[in-house]
């Protein structure tokens, strides 16, 4: 059988670190990159006698994610203890959710090759992160418990994904979503988004699922696709050579570009889940539910459709402008300030060609952009009204970006107002024609391309402020006369 005779079936389990100020069950900070073991307290260290108290901000974050993915929200969910021994798990159990998770069902929307897909979710539950083991050469290992207790949402998908590319797209959509919701930076390199993939293959047309393997330790967007492609190819190779797939957990080694078996199903641990008696039932009352619904922003997919369907933007432009919420917010605010959907296209062009170039050059976030959306809208209006030429507008834009000043003020200060006064331009044009009789004669004898020379002279004399179309018209009329 060829590769296309096999259909991959993929489900993802993604851990999202929630960007709360303090840990899931205690007051220590969640800062990244702090001195090892400096962000700890009795609860994080699992000291005897310490107790967990749940961080309400983490609940709010998880609720936003659940609402954004249209999950059923359990009004009373429960924390459970998941037991296993490992040095970076201070209590010998992880506080997680088991049979009564906060969110169930729901879906994540994504587009693959222009087509809209919906990947169903099984559940989203809350849990705490473990610390980090740092294995040294030789027999020693070091522990950093700064990460221990950081709140996580585990987002579990149904096995709805059919290609490695789609899996990568799912990760990008989830990344975009958590950033829109402001619940996580979603930085995979910092471990804020971590992906485990359940992968199986089956002969195309078969409905029964093949034996799956779980792929762990996929820690960049690039590796999501690569690791899954690799695993699909490995499974097909095994099956085509008459072997069978063993249900096991495999660890992705990004450096080697391959996965290694970590443990088989027979070695799977019994986590001895039971409800955590230290934590009361997690209640989502109507007030909180409504407050979170109100806080839910318009989601990227909805904005994308609005840009394309209502504002007539090209798909690629809409994708760029919805990539980050801050950019989309900027764009929306600029269009609103412009006051007419007709401003969407020129504003989209300005943002993509001018604004992003400047911001990217300075490695500056949209939030830190010196130009306010309303100022950009004002600039576009000035161009529409013919108050400044497109060329001058770019000059004004540069000044706006440097100083943060309003375009009107810059135009006023620099005397950049476009000269659209036909009488004034006629005077200048006449003097230019008189000063260049040779060229005028040439034009009149048929060398009409010389019009460019005259336009240039007028522009030069007006310091570039003349309305070029008008100059053209005036010169044509005078030279013809």
Partner 1 sequence: MPAPIQLSAVEQARQIKARRLSARALTEAHLARIEAIDARIGAFLRVDAAGALARADAIDAAIARGEDPGPLAGVPIALKDILVTQGLETTAGSRILAGWVPPYDGTAVARLRAAGAIVLGKLNLDEFAMGSSNENSAFGPCRNPWDLTRVPGGSSGGSAAAVVSFQCAAALGTDTGGSIRQPAAFCGIVGVKPTYGRVSRYGVIAFASSLDQVGPMARTVEDAALLLEIIAGRDPHDATSIDAPVPAYRDAVTSQASVRGLTIGLPDEYFAGGADPEVLAAVEEAVRVYQRLGAEIVRVSLPHTAHALPTYYLLAPAEASSNLARYDGVRYGQRQAQPGTSLLDMYRETRGAGFGTEVKRRIMLGTFALRSGYYDAYYAKAQKVRALIHRDFERAFERVDLLLSPTTPTAAFALGEKTQNPLDMYRGDIFTLGCNLAGLPGMNVPCGFTGAGLPVGMQLLARPLDEVTMLRAAAAYEREAGTLDERGVPVRQPPGLPAPAEVSL
CA distance 441 to 32: 74
The residue among 29 and 395 lying less far from partner 1, judged by its C-beta, is 29
Phi-psi label, residue 100: left if phi above 0, alpha if psi -120 to 50, beta otherwise: beta
Any long-range contacts for 282-286 (C-beta under 8 Å, 24+ apart)? 282/54, 282/59, 282/76, 282/77, 282/78, 282/79, 282/102, 282/126, 283/75, 283/76, 284/59, 284/63, 284/73, 284/74, 284/75, 284/76, 284/77, 284/102, 285/75
Q: 145 near 45, Cβ under 8 Å? A: yes
Show contacts with partner 1 in window 102-121 (CB under 8 A).
Answer: none
Phi/psi of residue 271, each to 5°?
-80, -5
Quick check: 51 binds partner 1 (CB under 8 A)? yes
> Closest approach of Cβ 256 to partner 1, in Å?
24
Piece in contact with partner 1 (CB under 8 A), picked from 51-59, 104-112, 288-296, 308-316: 51-59
The residue among 56 and 305 lying less far from partner 1, judged by its C-beta, is 56
CA distance 169 to 55: 31
**Alpha-carbon distances of 181 from 64, 293, 305, 394, rounded to whole Å:** 7, 12, 18, 34
Quick check: 272 binds partner 1 (CB under 8 A)? yes
The residue among 51 and 435 lying less far from partner 1, judged by its C-beta, is 51
Piece in contact with partner 1 (CB under 8 A), picked from 52-60, 61-69, 294-302, 368-376: 52-60
> Closest approach of Cβ 48 to partner 1, in Å?
4
Piece in contact with partner 1 (CB under 8 A), picked from 47-55, 59-67, 179-187, 298-306: 47-55
In the list 91, 212, 325, 381, the residue contacting partner 1 (rule: CB under 8 A) is 91
Decide the pairing of beta strands 80-83 and 115-128: unpaired
Which residues in 18-136 belong to E strands, given as ranges? 72-73, 76-77, 80-83, 93-96, 103-104, 107-112, 115-128, 132-135
The residue among 274 and 424 lying less far from partner 1, judged by its C-beta, is 274
CA distance 81 to 327: 41
In the list 47, 134, 315, 336, the residue contacting partner 1 (rule: CB under 8 A) is 47
CA distance 68 to 39: 31
DSSP 121-169: EEEEEEEE---EEEEPSSS-EEEE-SSTT-EEEEEEE-S-B-SHHHHHH
Cα Rg of the chain (Å, integer): 31
The residue among 102 and 400 lying less far from partner 1, judged by its C-beta, is 102
> Closest approach of Cβ 275 to partner 1, in Å?
9
Piece in contact with partner 1 (CB under 8 A), picked from 110-118, 176-184, 270-278, 335-343: 270-278
Quick check: 137 binds partner 1 (CB under 8 A)? no
Quick check: 57 binds partner 1 (CB under 8 A)? no
Quick check: 19 binds partner 1 (CB under 8 A)? no
The residue among 52 and 151 lying less far from partner 1, judged by its C-beta, is 52
Quick check: 278 binds partner 1 (CB under 8 A)? yes
Kindly report the CA angle at 287 between 286 and 292, in degrees rounded to 5?
100
Quick check: 271 binds partner 1 (CB under 8 A)? yes
Site string for partner 1, 183-202 (x = CB under 8 A): --------------------
Quick check: 85 binds partner 1 (CB under 8 A)? yes
Quick check: 90 binds partner 1 (CB under 8 A)? yes
Piece in contact with partner 1 (CB under 8 A), picked from 4-12, 82-90, 209-217, 439-447: 82-90
> Closest approach of Cβ 89 to partner 1, in Å?
9
The residue among 133 and 206 lying less far from partner 1, judged by its C-beta, is 133
Residues in contact with partner 1, total (CB under 8 A)? 31
With residue 200 as reference, give the H or E element that holds it: strand 193-203
In the list 6, 93, 252, 443, the residue contacting partner 1 (rule: CB under 8 A) is 93
The angle that helices 164-181 and 56-68 make with each other, rounded to 10 degrees, is 130
Quick check: 143 binds partner 1 (CB under 8 A)? yes
> Closest approach of Cβ 76 to partner 1, in Å?
15
Quick check: 288 binds partner 1 (CB under 8 A)? no
Strand order in the sheet with 80-83: 93-96, 80-83, 274-275
Piece in contact with partner 1 (CB under 8 A), picked from 174-182, 253-261, 278-286, 289-297: 278-286
Q: Could you tell me the sign of the dihedral formed by the alpha carbons of 143, 147, 152, 156, in that order?
A: negative
Quick check: 147 binds partner 1 (CB under 8 A)? no
Phi/psi of residue 331, each to 5°?
-60, -50
Piece in contact with partner 1 (CB under 8 A), picked from 180-188, 227-235, 272-280, 286-294: 272-280
CA distance 226 to 132: 25
**Alpha-carbon distances of 25 from 94, 95, 125, rounded to whole Å:** 11, 9, 15
Contacting positions for partner 1 (CB under 8 A): 42, 45-54, 81, 83, 85, 87, 90-93, 139-140, 143, 270-274, 277-280
């Amino acid at each position: 059988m060829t590769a296309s005779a096999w259909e991959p079936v993929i489900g993802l389990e993604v851990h999202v670190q929630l960007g709360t100020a303090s840990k899931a069950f205690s007051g220590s900070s969640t800062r990244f990159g702090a001195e090892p073991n400096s962000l700890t307290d009795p609860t994080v260290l699992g000291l005897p006698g310490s107790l967990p108290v749940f961080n309400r901000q983490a609940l709010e974050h998880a609720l936003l994610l659940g609402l954004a993915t249209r999950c059923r929200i359990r009004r009373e969910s429960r924390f459970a203890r998941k037991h296993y021994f490992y040095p970076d798990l201070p209590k010998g159990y992880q506080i997680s959710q088991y049979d009564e998770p906060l969110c169930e069902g729901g879906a994540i929307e994504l587009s693959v090759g222009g087509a809209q897909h919906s990947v169903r979710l099984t559940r989203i539950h809350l849990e705490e992160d473990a610390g980090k083991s740092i294995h040294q050469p030789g027999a020693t290992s070091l522990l950093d418990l700064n990460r221990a207790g950081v709140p996580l949402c585990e987002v579990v998908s149904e096995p709805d994904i059919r290609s490695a590319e789609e899996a990568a797209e799912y990760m990008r959509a989830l990344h975009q979503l958590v950033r829109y919701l402001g619940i996580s930076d979603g930085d995979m390199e910092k471990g804020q988004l971590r992906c485990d993939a359940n992968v199986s293959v089956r002969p195309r047309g078969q409905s029964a699922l093949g034996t799956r393997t779980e792929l762990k330790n996929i820690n960049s967007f690039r590796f999501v696709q690569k690791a899954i492609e690799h695993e699909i190819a490995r499974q097909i190779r095994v099956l085509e050579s008459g072997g069978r797939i063993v249900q096991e957990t495999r660890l992705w080694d990004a450096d080697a570009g391959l996965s290694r078996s970590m443990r088989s199903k027979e070695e799977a641990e019994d986590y001895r889940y039971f409800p955590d008696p230290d934590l009361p039932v997690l209640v989502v009352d109507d007030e909180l539910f409504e407050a979170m619904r109100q806080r839910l922003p318009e989601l990227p997919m909805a904005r994308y459709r609005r840009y394309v369907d209502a504002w007539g933007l090209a798909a690629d432009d809409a994708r760029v402008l919805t990539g980050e919420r801050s950019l989309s917010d900027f764009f929306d605010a600029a269009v609103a300030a412009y006051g007419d959907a007709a401003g969407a296209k020129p504003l989209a062009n300005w943002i993509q060609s001018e604004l992003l170039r400047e911001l990217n050059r300075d490695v500056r976030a949209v939030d830190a952009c010196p130009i306010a959306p309303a100022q950009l809208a004002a600039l576009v209006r000035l161009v529409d009204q013919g108050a400044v030429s497109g060329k001058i507008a770019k000059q004004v834009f540069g000044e706006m970006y440097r100083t943060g000043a309003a375009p009107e003020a810059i135009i006023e200060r620099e005397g950049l107002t476009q000269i659209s006064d036909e009488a004034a331009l006629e005077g200048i044009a006449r003097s230019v024609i008189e000063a260049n009789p040779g060229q005028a004669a040439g034009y009149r004898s048929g060398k009409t391309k010389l019009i460019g020379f005259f336009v240039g002279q007028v522009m030069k004399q007006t310091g570039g402020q003349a309305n070029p179309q008008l100059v053209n018209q005036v010169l044509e009329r005078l030279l013809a006369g």
